[in-house]
Amino acid sequence: MQATPSLPPEYVEQSTLDLSRQKGLALGLNLAAVGLFVLLGWLALRLLPLLRPDVAELGGTLGLELFVLLALVLAGQVVLHELMHGLFFWLFSRARPHFGFKGWYAYAAAPGWFFPRGQFLVIGLAPLVLITLLGLLLVLVLPGPWLPLPLLVVVMNGAGSVGDLVAAVWLLRQPSSALFQDNGAAMVSYQPAGGGR
């Protein structure tokens, strides 16, 4: 099954995942993101000597330049994350995705399009997987003083992907025959009226 701009006639709305309307869940996700940031930061610092035994410690002589670069990279990380969601929306639908902010959260969406579960999983997890791989590749090739940049992007992106991970678990609990729509505010599952896996 492929992405489609029209819902098949036998499909009906089944369930909705709207993280912004569930205040307790939103608070829990933010706390989980902080915990994940600490855990991933610790893992990154433990992994660094294995990936780059030539680097004795993080730090460098870039001073203010490194601080400015870190600020720019952190802002760019959020944009890159959403652009990657948007890229995969476009690859599967060939329609321009919508980007925006809802409260503190940036989002990419494809209102009017319905995606099968496998494609929707790829759309949801692509930024986590690809930014992590790109960051680790950069750790292997960048000079020592620049290593905090990709490490911080990987850690921030991983922590910021907690909502994507919750959505992936929700998706995997839906039938394989389901179609999904992301309108920016929520993700909606549609299934054949008679059920089906």
On whether residue 70 sits in a domain, the answer given is: no
Element of type H or E holding 81 = helix 64-93
**Helical segments of the chain, H only:** 23-51, 64-93, 117-141, 148-160, 162-172
- Positive/negative CA dihedral, 21, 27, 32, 33: positive
On whether residue 182 sits in a domain, the answer given is: yes
Number of domains in the chain: 1
pLDDT reading at 182 higher than 80: yes
On whether residue 36 sits in a domain, the answer given is: yes
Residue-level pLDDT at 196: 54
On whether residue 65 sits in a domain, the answer given is: no
> Residues 11-38: pLDDT tens digits?
999 999 987 777 777 778 888 988 998 8
On whether residue 68 sits in a domain, the answer given is: no
On whether residue 180 sits in a domain, the answer given is: yes
On whether residue 90 sits in a domain, the answer given is: yes
| Mean pLDDT of the region 174-193 | 92
On whether residue 148 sits in a domain, the answer given is: yes
User: 137 is in which domain, residue-wise?
Assistant: 11-54+76-192
> Residues 91-125: pLDDT tens digits?
999 999 999 987 767 899 999 999 999 999 999 99
Nearest-angstrom CA–CA distance, 3 and 122: 13
User: What pTM does this model have?
Assistant: 0.85
